[in-house]
Structure 1
Amino acid sequence: MSDKHSGLPSLPLRLSALQVIGLRDPGEGDWSRLRALQYAELHKVSVTRIAAHGLAAMLAVTLYAGDIATWILVTWLLGVILAVWNATRMDKALIDVERRGLQRSEFTRQAASVFGCTLPWVLALIFFVPQGSTTDHYALWALIAMLMAGSAASMASAPVAAIMFDLVVGFTGALSFLATGNIAFAIASGAYTLAIVTASFQSARTYLSAKIAEAGVAEKDEVVSLLLREYEEKASDWLWQVDTHRRIRSASPRFAFALGAEPDALEGQSFVRVIAGTYWDSGDFPPSLHELAEKLKRREHFSNLLVQVDMAGKRGWWELSGSPMHNEEGAFIGFRGVGSDVTEQRDRDDKIAYLARYDTLTGLPNRLMLTEALGDGLQYAEQWKTRCAFLMIDLDRFKAVNDSLGHQLGDKLLAEVSSRLAAVVGEGEQVGRLGGDEFAIVIRDAADRQRIDHLSGLVIETLSQPYKIDAHTLFIGASIGSAIGPRDGQSVEMLMRNADLALYKAKDEGGNSHFQYMPALHAHAEERRKLEGALRHAIANDEMELHFQPVVDARSEHIVSFEALLRWNSKEHGPVSPAKFIPLAEDTRLIVPVGDWVLREACREAARWPDEIKVAVNVSGEQLLEPAFASTIVRALAETGLPAHRLEVEVTESVFLRDGRTARQTLEEIMALGCSIALDDFGTGYSSLGYLRTLRFSTIKVDRSFVQGAAQDSQESLAIIRAVVAMAHSLDMSTTAEGVEDAEQAALIRELGCTKIQGYYFGRPMPAQEARSLVVKGRQAA
């Protein structure tokens, strides 16, 4: 049942002048609703106002066209248009005022907008009249008088605005005649103004009285409509009625059916007690039942009130509407209303609300709920002068599991991770999922700083334990970045951003660690941003350069190939370490255009060497996943004229983790061209004999860490090198030992059986010209 007219029938039909205008509250009833009755149809006269003011303004401009400068008239005309437009805009904003009630601020703004319409005409009377003739003065007053009459006739719904317009403009006109010495017309103008204002007031009183009477009839009709709803086809609606003691009277069959009882059995029982059910026995009432009881007690009309009910132990939700009833003498005799069971609808709404705030995969709070919790933590910290904390968690090596074993198993792993996280948080701490493999913990009160470190260590330890999922034993880790509020950020966005910077630092340090935010991280992030911007233009600015490190035959020590190594001499940042810009290029996918450039330049330089010397080019996983990477190699070979067998593509085992099938297919296409493939850093990453079984690598490169370990007589390193050499020999592959720095290490590598050697002992990475000279000297020496 609508509350549109609530409280209006009690308003008296006779109101004082100030009450009609709106400058004083009515003796009884609601000022907001009373004004809403007046202003509800104000927008309908907007077109009339626009037409009247527009026509009058054009005529006024025509009158004074020869007496006043054109720019002044145009400016004045624009002022009229602007004022009328503003008033019309304010009127349009009140279209729905009857439904919601008029606010005093809206009442003031509307009156002010109409006052704005008076200003151009007041200015015209003050400044135009002295410039024109007496005839023009009379004509201008006639135009204004018509506007005043139109205002009084059309704006009965906004009397304060109409009266204000008529008074201000009318008496200004009278003063203009007085200033020109026309006393008789000044008196006549003043009398006309008073007559118009009086008529405007009487019109407003009549209009408002009619609206109040109309609203009273509508209010009584609502009671009748309640009875009619009993006969609607919707079986979920029913009629209810209570007496002055809030006991059920004349229970309808549908109402009794909803309560699971007979109508006679309900007669005389307490309405609230019956629908409260077990809530009444326990004394633990839901807030909605308290609200219903209060409205019945205060004899207030209510509409579409959601009430939590209990019917024979089955709990649900009812939507109730009701109005107080009075007899012919005006005495209160009870309540009558309608209700319906909205339990199913409420359950759907609750489910939608749950989905909006919880992650469907893990059941943990989602990003929205975490940000709300963090905002609450910041408010709590500010109120009690304490600290809150935000921990951002990223799973290490999860992507490898997800890519190699599939998303379905990855989802199961995420669910297990969420269970472990939920088990480690304590009171006042909320864990949730931000998305993907990112989680977060909000600590509402982080006054104990050791709690952050302790909880972070506990999370890392807990998540690093093995997972047994679908006959797989999985190992992952966790990196954590934390920020403390309000020290590290006084807003949710700033705190989350700073925790993310700390997390990035933890990942950059190798992962499986916790890092707290420090202001220096901003400088690091800014440096990274600037470095990325410079890297995007490095090739175009001719800042990239290739250096070449020789690879020699272990027995003859003759150069058999060079490995192309990228160097960046930035004009803005100077020489930048590959350890810094290569990961940045991979993160931003700039490695694809940079890698293409390296490939072309390496092939172009190698084409100048003797035919027996190869060039090795490192290729990242991002490049291999490009659909047309094999075509890129074909173009590089065709442009430079380098034979395919002289190009060796070096990859690491990590390229098979993201999309092993695509990586293998691309490498097979490269080998079909005649190029050779080298497996770099073997034994340091995700070594698997499956790669060696499915792909015919030409070379396995033994990482420098094993070479250095063997030189220090590490039995593990020696055993690994021997195993790699034996395996490569059986698969008809060559082996290259990296990081050989002196003659003793070179002799050891020969003894272990490696076929090729690379390291500072035989040559550091050098510019292309030096590499060319080295090749020439080697030939001459031979």
Structure 2
Amino acid sequence: MPLLLVGHLGAAAIVTLSLLPVAVPWMLAGWIVALLGGAGAVTLRQWRAVTHTIASTRTHAVTAALESALLAALWSVPALFLTHDVGSSATITLWMVAAAIMVATALALTPMLLAALTFVGVLGTALTVPLAFAHAHLALTAAAAFAAMLMIATYTRGRAFTARLLAEVALADRDETVSLLLREFENARADWLWEIDASRRIVHAGWRFADACRLRPEAMNGLPLLQVLAGPTWEGGNFSTGLRDLAEKLKQRESFRDLALPVVIDGEERWWEIAASPRYDAQGAFLGFRGVGSDVTEQRASADRINRMARFDTLTGLPNRLHVNEALSRALTDAERWRARAAFMMIDLDRFKAVNDTLGHPVGDRLLGRVSERLAQLMSDNELIGRLGGDEFAVVVRDASDPQRIERLARTIIDTLSRPYEVDQHTLYIGASVGVATSPRDGRTAETLIRSADLALYRSKDRGGGVFHAYEPQLHADAEERRILELELRQALEHGQLSLHYQPVVDAGTGRLRGFEALLRWDHPRLGPVGPDKFIAIAEETRLIAPIGEWVARTACEEAARWPGDLRIAVNVSPEQLTNPNFVTVIASALAQSRLSPQRLELEVTEGVFMREGTGAARVLEQVLDLGVRLSLDDFGTGYSSLGYLSRTRFSSIKIDRSFVASAAQGVAEPLAIIRAVVALARSLGMSTIAEGVETEAELALVRELGCTNIQGHYFGRAVPVAEARDMIRRNLAKARAA
């Protein structure tokens, strides 16, 4: 801009000298004064704007364009007003000087593109106006083309200048950002930079790196990096895996990151995490490595704690399901590699739920802690014990080559866990059931072996608990059958495959029909008849017993409502149904819709109902009894018989199991005594008795002699479909009328 100002002054002098002979003196003098003042002010202002402003704002650009327009207008005065002869030497000189001024100004004002284009455009237009009035078409075309080309060149050069300027600004910002980040990085407490040469020796050791190593920077320079990191192990050569990995990376000249290695600093083990990249000069020669290091001791300790929480049970401290699965997978891999066998045990505590229900979960949790302690004491280096969840535990046996040893361990576990526990001044008795599966016979994968052990455990629980069972292929077939039955059972009610059969109950003395027991039957179109012993348990486990039980109650009540008024209908009730708070509503609705008298409905429950404390079953039964429904105790004497619930619950009758009737008819003393005791007990409590399973004349005579009130069995009739039951009722009525 200063040089441009000098150019303007020189050009003004040349133009003045050329115009002295032809111009009016005072007009020429006025133009010179105005030009010198305007050029000086404009160039000085624009020079200061460019040198003190990195990126012009819109206001600065517009202001500069207006100033350039003013300056161009001043230069236009001689061409428009001071010259009249287009072809004179003065005019030609003026045009040549103006063209030079346009080029110089366009070059000088490149940082302010709008100002440069404005100056060239205004002055170029002013120079072409006289040529247009003089009809000098060739000169006009040349002048216009020159101005246009100069504007295009100015625009192109200005854009390039702006792009370069922005790139330089961005590069300067990036350099400043990198410097700032490096300063912040160096000031960070746990991070440092390190650098080694081609010989793997430390160069330019920073004070952060030195402080992390508890050394002075000048003492570290020149030392091998591996020696500094190895510490006391350098002489013995007992290097960590991480340090060996680092040495290999340095040897191969490979970039690496997140490489963790232990280091010993002042006798304390720390964990560092380092990353680095190789360095090369312009000719490609290897210079060494430059990298960064961090002390991640605290982070690693936190990760170890999280990893332990993820793999160990918080209540017992034993490995959890995830850890057990991982251990089993490793055991199976090792067994396959060495052509050996591994085993998996699943352990389920017996009667543990009763502890939770009666004494509360805190006592149950402490009991689980005692159980885990006993199990841990039984394990050797060959076994791993873990808790799967709830009251389920598991044992991974790495070497199961000796089947007898596996069996002894299973029995020892059962015996050990069955010993009494003293918890919070309570003496607790529980037991354990065990299922065992061995690879590769029972499965080659962890998932398969766990499933096999689970099936074996299921069989142990079916046998009453307190035993162990090894997996057998038949268990899988049984499980598959159960799975298919479950799928089909879910559709059986909807497809009308379920039906009720009715078995008569007669008076023991007169043989007169007293009512029927409704028995559920399932006739599958493809599988054929499915026994209740198979599908009732599945219905209870899958909670299908609720809708099925509701259908049974409604159907039985609707059918009984068609019978004579003195015949009763008995319906079996599962303990699972009594856990449903809506069960009372279901019974009340069935009675209301069928208009059956409540006294004609008798619900049969087993002793298992009273073995589930805390389920509210007894309260539900009391509500049902308040409706006027009768209650019968089924299979009395076959389970954990107790006289307490006989006195607490308003039973109408007690059913004597067929096993007692058959044995008593054969002269066995114990069942005979039991039947006498039950009959006497029922009489004293005002209850009737029903002898089940009477099939022969001898059994009939026996139960009559013992004083049973009612009889049920094949001797009087099997369970029959509803049509045959109605025929039986008609025959009984006809017989009664004839008598």
Q: Same fold (TM over 0.5)?
A: yes
AA in 1 matched with 2:500: L
SS at match of 1:668: helix
Structure 1 residue 361, shift from structure 2 partner: 3.4
Does the CA-based 8 Å contact 1:468-1:474 persist in structure 2? no
Does the CA-based 8 Å contact 1:386-1:446 persist in structure 2? yes
1:590 aligned to which of 541, 544, 547: 544
CA deviation digits over 1:461-503, x for unaligned, max 9? 4444444444142223314152532x44444444444444444
Cα 1:558/1:346, change in 2 over 3 Å: same
Does 1:353 pair with 2:310?
A: no
Does the CA-based 8 Å contact 1:481-1:504 persist in structure 2? no
Does the CA-based 8 Å contact 2:655-2:691 persist in structure 1? yes
1:685 aligned to which of 639, 651, 654: 639
SS at match of 1:654: helix
Cα 1:777/1:534, change in 2 over 3 Å: farther
Instruction: Map residues 67-216 of structure 1 onto 2, 5 A cutoff.
Output: none
Cα 1:590/1:615, change in 2 over 3 Å: same
Which residue of 1 is the match for residue 323 of structure 2? 369
| Structure 2 alignment gaps of length 5 or more | 1-174
Which residue of 2 is the match for residue 697 of structure 1? 651
Does the CA-based 8 Å contact 1:482-1:499 persist in structure 2? yes
Which residue of 1 is the match for residue 337 of structure 2? 383
SS at match of 2:521: strand
Which residue of 2 is the match for residue 776 of structure 1? 733
Instruction: Map residues 547-586 of structure 1 onto 2, 5 A cutoff.
Output: 547-554=501-508, 558-586=512-540
AA in 2 matched with 1:654: G
CA deviation digits over 1:503-535, x for unaligned, max 9? 444444554444444444444344334433443
AA in 2 matched with 1:480: G
Which residue of 1 is the match for residue 183 of structure 2? 228
CA deviation digits over 1:391-450, x for unaligned, max 9? 444444444544454444444444444444444444444343444444433334434444
Which residue of 1 is the match for residue 692 of structure 2? 738
1:478 aligned to which of 433, 447, 451: 433
Instruction: Tell me which moved more, 638-647 or 443-452.
Output: 443-452
- Report the Cα distance in structure 2 between the residues aligned to 1:324 and 1:396, rounded to whole angstroms: 64
- Report the Cα distance in structure 2 between the residues aligned to 1:341 and 1:253, rounded to whole angstroms: 15
SS at match of 2:333: helix
Which residue of 2 is the match for residue 83 of structure 1? none
Instruction: Map residues 4-15 of structure 1 onto 2, 5 A cutoff.
Output: none
AA in 1 matched with 2:565: D
- Report the Cα distance in structure 1 between the residues aligned to 2:687 and 2:587, rounded to whole angstroms: 23
Instruction: Tell me which moved more, 441-450 or 672-681.
Output: 441-450
SS at match of 1:627: coil
AA in 1 matched with 2:525: K
- Report the Cα distance in structure 2 between the residues aligned to 1:252 and 1:554, rounded to whole angstroms: 105
Which residue of 2 is the match for residue 544 of structure 1? 498
Does the CA-based 8 Å contact 1:616-1:650 persist in structure 2? yes
AA in 2 matched with 1:550: P
Does the CA-based 8 Å contact 2:418-2:429 persist in structure 1? no
Does the CA-based 8 Å contact 1:567-1:578 persist in structure 2? yes
Does the CA-based 8 Å contact 1:226-1:239 persist in structure 2? no
Which residue of 1 is the match for residue 13 of structure 2? none
Does 1:645 pair with 2:602?
A: no
- Report the Cα distance in structure 2 between the residues aligned to 1:701 and 1:277, rounded to whole angstroms: 84
- Report the Cα distance in structure 2 between the residues aligned to 1:654 and 1:548, rounded to whole angstroms: 24
The share of aligned pairs that are identical, in percent, is 54
2:478 aligned to which of 524, 539, 546: 524
- Report the Cα distance in structure 1 between the residues aligned to 2:673 and 2:430, rounded to whole angstroms: 26
Cα 1:324/1:381, change in 2 over 3 Å: closer
Which residue of 1 is the match for residue 394 of structure 2? 440
Does the CA-based 8 Å contact 1:609-1:775 persist in structure 2? no
Which residue of 2 is the match for residue 604 of structure 1? 558
- Report the Cα distance in structure 2 between the residues aligned to 1:279 and 1:698, rounded to whole angstroms: 86
Does the CA-based 8 Å contact 1:464-1:478 persist in structure 2? no
SS at match of 2:546: helix
2:273 aligned to which of 292, 298, 319: 319
Does 1:622 pair with 2:576?
A: yes
AA in 2 matched with 1:342: V
AA in 2 matched with 1:369: H
Cα 1:438/1:706, change in 2 over 3 Å: same
Does the CA-based 8 Å contact 1:544-1:569 persist in structure 2? yes
Structure 1 residue 665, shift from structure 2 partner: 3.0
Instruction: Map residues 284-323 of structure 1 onto 2, 5 A cutoff.
Output: 285-292=239-246, 302-321=256-275
- Report the Cα distance in structure 2 between the residues aligned to 1:514 and 1:669, rounded to whole angstroms: 41
Cα 1:285/1:507, change in 2 over 3 Å: same
CA deviation digits over 1:182-221, x for unaligned, max 9? xxxxxxxxxxxxxxxxxxxxxxxxxxxxxxxxxxxxxx99
Instruction: Map residues 412-491 of structure 1 onto 2, 5 A cutoff.
Output: 412-470=366-424, 471-485=426-440, 487-491=441-445
Does the CA-based 8 Å contact 2:340-2:400 persist in structure 1? yes
Instruction: Tell me which moved more, 440-449 or 268-277.
Output: 268-277
Does the CA-based 8 Å contact 2:420-2:427 persist in structure 1? no
Does the CA-based 8 Å contact 2:505-2:517 persist in structure 1? yes
CA deviation digits over 1:592-637, x for unaligned, max 9? 2222222122212322333233211101123222332222112221
Does the CA-based 8 Å contact 2:277-2:289 persist in structure 1? yes
Does the CA-based 8 Å contact 1:371-1:492 persist in structure 2? yes
Does 1:671 pair with 2:625?
A: yes
SS at match of 1:630: helix
Residue-pair matches, total: 563
- Report the Cα distance in structure 2 between the residues aligned to 1:503 and 1:446, rounded to whole angstroms: 18
CA deviation digits over 1:71-119, x for unaligned, max 9? xxxxxxxxxxxxxxxxxxxxxxxxxxxxxxxxxxxxxxxxxxxxxxxxx
- Report the Cα distance in structure 1 between the residues aligned to 2:681 and 2:477, rounded to whole angstroms: 48
Which residue of 1 is the match for residue 70 of structure 2? none
Structure 1 residue 644, shift from structure 2 partner: 0.8
Does the CA-based 8 Å contact 1:226-1:337 persist in structure 2? no
Instruction: Tell me which moved more, 613-622 or 532-541.
Output: 532-541
2:609 aligned to which of 652, 655, 668: 655
CA deviation digits over 1:5-40, x for unaligned, max 9? xxxxxxxxxxxxxxxxxxxxxxxxxxxxxxxxxxxx
SS at match of 2:616: helix
CA deviation digits over 1:236-259, x for unaligned, max 9? 334567799988888766556656
SS at match of 1:478: strand
AA in 1 matched with 2:521: R
- Report the Cα distance in structure 2 between the residues aligned to 1:329 and 1:718, rounded to whole angstroms: 109
Which residue of 1 is the match for residue 83 of structure 2? none
Instruction: Tell me which moved more, 381-390 or 629-638.
Output: 381-390
- Report the Cα distance in structure 1 between the residues aligned to 2:687 and 2:228, rounded to whole angstroms: 87
Structure 1 residue 651, shift from structure 2 partner: 1.5
SS at match of 2:614: helix
Cα 1:527/1:396, change in 2 over 3 Å: same
Instruction: Map residues 711-722 of structure 1 onto 2, 5 A cutoff.
Output: 711=665, 717=671, 720-721=674-675
Which residue of 1 is the match for residue 130 of structure 2? none
Instruction: Tell me which moved more, 648-657 or 636-645.
Output: 648-657
- Report the Cα distance in structure 2 between the residues aligned to 1:651 and 1:528, rounded to whole angstroms: 25
Does the CA-based 8 Å contact 2:354-2:613 persist in structure 1? no
Does the CA-based 8 Å contact 1:403-1:657 persist in structure 2? no
| Structure 1 alignment gaps of length 5 or more | 1-219
- Report the Cα distance in structure 1 between the residues aligned to 2:374 and 2:569, rounded to whole angstroms: 50
